[in-house]
Amino acid sequence: MKNFFDFIYYGLFRFTPKEKLSNIRLEANSLNQFEFLRQERKKFLESHLGIEIKNPKIFEEALIHRSYLHLLPKGQYSSNERLEFLGDAVLSLVVSDYLFHKYPNRLEGDLTKIRSWLVNKHSLSYVARKLELDKLILVSFSTAKTLERSGESILSDALEAVIAAIYLDSGLNVVKQFIVKKLIPMLEEANVLQDKNYKSILMEKVQAEGKMAPTYEVLEENGPPHDKTFFVGVYVDNVLLATGKGKSKKEAEQDAAKNALKNLKTNQGEENGEIDF
């Protein structure tokens, strides 16, 4: 039985330095009272979010990834998936309201595009790391490796769950302040308010000149199966425009399209503005 409690104990506080573990106690007789956000951790989260936490249990649930449930008493706790569902809706509402009033002359299509830049997984995972949520999310030991390497989905889902927790704990005005005063400025500072779908931009650019749609080809794959790097070439009319690399084919294609756009901008005809292939 002692080994079981040790397993729970060290799994639960896997992000805590060993020298600080002696200051935190998860007593066997209080196992049914899961209190992860105690003292220092609660203050840590409050200071990073800029809010006051009234009900820590909601935030505890927001930080429990489904992979961690098997480490907790069966049937007594939930993962952050339900809160993620609610947080996604709250985030969309607040961001939509913010953009609607900030850009009164923008069309619906423009507003939708800008919103997508703000609330996609990449942007939200960036904010989650800036808020250091990666130090608090409870995941299994195997999932922790994914979180360390990238973990965009885990981080973005956790941030949406935390947004739901703020909403449930403090109401719409407080969560709106968090999103408008903290989340959006972080993203504006990171320069995410631009179209980074380079494949789409390249497609529009070359087709405007009457060219064939770009095609992508994997030129090389390096690394072990679990950590591959892909090298991709992008072609227009069978001419190689540029190459790119990434940890996935999709990422490598975006990088190739981005590099192609740079090359096209450099080689663009000055007299008539046509793309010089």
Residue given tokens 């008493």 in the structure block: 73
Of the residues 160, 169, 253, 255, which is catalytic? Answer: 160
Active-site residue, 160 included: yes
Are residues 156 and 124 in contact, defined by beta-carbon separation less than 8 angstroms? yes
Q: How far apart are CA 16 and CA 41, in angstroms?
A: 10
Of the residues 61, 88, 152, 157, which is catalytic? Answer: 88
CA atoms within 13 A on the CB side of 112: 3
Spatial CB neighbours of 70, under 8 Å, sequence gap ≥ 6: 140
Q: How far apart are CA 98 and CA 92, in angstroms?
A: 10
Are residues 264 and 205 in contact, defined by beta-carbon separation less than 8 angstroms? yes
Active-site residue, 40 included: no
Token pair belonging to 119: 């609330």
- Of 269, 129, 249, nearest to 199 by C-alpha is 249
Q: Which helix (H) or strand (E) holds 121?
A: helix 121-130
Catalytic residues: 88, 160
